[in-house]
A and B are shown apart, each in its own frame.
Chain A
Amino acid sequence: MSDKKKKKLTPIQQQYQDFAEKREPKRPIIKNCIYAFLVGGFICLIGQGISTFYIHFFHFNEKSAGDPTVATLIFISAMMTGLGFYDHIAQKAGAGTIIPVTGFANAMASAAIEHRSEGYVLGVGGNMFKLAGSVIVFGVFSAFVIGIIKVIITKYLGGF
């Protein structure tokens, strides 16, 4: 917990939380990192395999093979979400399954499945971006900021 939050606590609350904290199992960070590295790397390996497959058999070049590769990974991830495997792998893999494009697909597919019972419009449509929405909002916004920085550097500082 951050120090900022801790400041609001009374001494008794603070004392209790310190006491309880000693009884809390910590997140196994090193183990989690290793799992995340291995699983995330494995997903990338699959991606590379798919990409090579498209270049070899479908006359894509290295640049144009990207789109069908991502689409294939999204399809596999959504499929695994629907069949109920993805969340079990994610409990072990953590960031390894969240960071790649498969994590984004899982966020959208899981929300869509979850809210199917509220109908297509208010349920699926309205909730599909519940988790993925903030990724898009802040992703687009940071791209915009980076874009402006790039323009300033190239135009006024004469870089690149």
Chain B
Amino acid sequence: MIQGRTWVFQNKPTIVASAAVGGPFEAQGPLADDFDVLHQDLWLGQESFEKAEKKMLEEASEYAIHKANLQKEDIQFFLSGDLMNQVISSSFTARTLGVPYLGIFGACSTSMEGLALGSLLVDGGYASHVLAATSSHNAAAEKQYRYPTEYGSQKPPTAQWTVTGAGAAVVAAKGSGIKVRAATIGRVVDMGVSDPFNMGAAMAPAAIDTIQTHFRDLQLSPTYYDLVVTGDLGRVGFKTVSDILDKQGLKFPKGLFSDCGLMIYREDQPVLSGGSGAGCSACVTYGHILSRMRKGELRKVLIVATGALLSPISYQQNESIPCIAHAVAIEHEEEGEV
């Protein structure tokens, strides 16, 4: 069923299992306990950062499948994307898994794009088990988008730190646990910000658009969700979003609105404005938030993953940064409750 721009899932697809894999920097963060695997080596014993990212995505996928008590063959579709050119991490992971695969790209919003599409396939009866996954790797992203890792450039305080991590979730037609209730698909918003070291400010308008649309489409009050999290806006973007939403009359109670990019690292970690990358919202959602929901600490959560759809070439050609945000609403249903 569609309400405005929001898919409302009638059959309530279930996230039966999820997994998160992180790197050394994430291991020092406050959410370290919520990861399934944490690597102390940024290379993961591989020959290149790109191979290390693929390895993380493979691990997250395999863990999620294993935790769902399934075999690879039970996965009917693998929906995945990442930040690497031609989404190689995802495609190469799909090669390892050997299951039908759809590669997607939404930059850092890929996590929720995958979950939304996976839920849609399951809800529509076109699949009984879908695996949605995404990843990012700090050094691989730096190499592709910015400068060599060891290059001594001075980043401004608005810059963000790409998360080294991968997250995966198995969405099933049957089962108990966390249900995917609705998903709002974002539209591309470009407010003319062209500084790739200020992605938070670039992505904020897209997040505002999607959040406003979601609450309007479903006619919800700001207190409906126990937690609303944005993907990776960082300090600058998150402050901008909260202030504008406040002004527009969507006031979230204190503590019920947060940002994955601010949750994943400690205050004193040298990440400037906060975390970013496709792995950011994936790790925080599939690791931390789902685990809190399973414990019963949270019941209704809205995740708004934001993505900056730029390429290394587009910003060198002085293009501004088009951005998008996809929102997925998940709810924990008690046993026996309908």
| Genuine A/B complex | yes
A: residues with CB less than 8 A from B are 1, 5, 8-10, 12-14, 16-17, 19-21, 23-28, 32, 81-82, 84, 86-87, 89-95, 97-98, 103, 106-107, 109-111, 113-115, 117, 130-131
Q: Are B192 and A106 in contact (CB under 8 A)?
A: no
Given contacts A20-B204, A23-B236, A24-B198, contact A111 B154 (CB under 8 A): no
Cβ of A10: which chain B residues have Cβ within 8 Å of it? 192
Name the residue of chain B whose CB is nearest to the CB of A113: B150
A5, B195: Cα distance in complex, Å: 12
| Given A87-B149, A87-B151, A110-B150, A25 and B191 contact (CB-CB distance below 8 Å) | no
Question: A-facing mask of B110-129, CB < 8 A → 1, else 0?
Answer: 00000000000000000000
Q: From A5, A87, A92, give the contact of B150 (CB < 8 A).
A: A87
Whether, in the assembled complex, B93 has its beta carbon less than 8 Å from a beta carbon of chain A, the answer is no
**Contact status B194-A97, CB under 8 Å:** no
Which A-chain residue is minimally distant from B318 (CB atoms)?
A5
Q: Is the CB of B152 within 8 A of A103?
A: yes
Q: Name which residue of chain B comes closest to A23, CB basis.
A: B239
| B48 partner residues in chain A, CB cutoff 8 A | 117
Stretch at the interface among B14-22, B28-36, B155-163, B286-294: B155-163
Q: Please indicate the chain A residues that have their CB under 8 angstroms from the CB of B154 in the complex.
A: 32, 90-95, 98
Whether the Cβ atoms of A131 and B147 lie closer than 8 Å is yes
Please list 6 pairs of residues, one from A and one from B, whose beta carbons are closer than 8 Å in the complex, sorted by A's number.
Answer: A25-B158, A82-B150, A87-B149, A87-B152, A91-B154, A98-B154
Of listed A1, A110, A113, residue having the most chain B CB within 10 A = A110
For A82, A84, A95, A111, the residue with the greatest tally of chain B CB atoms inside 10 Å of its CB is A111
B residues within 8 A CB of A14?
A: 192
Pair A110/B193 contact, Cβ less than 8 Å: no
CB proximity of A42 to chain B, nearest CB, Å: 15
In the complex, the answer to whether B156 meets A27 with C-beta atoms within 8 Å is yes
Residues from chain B with a CB closer than 8 A to the CB of A86 are 150, 152
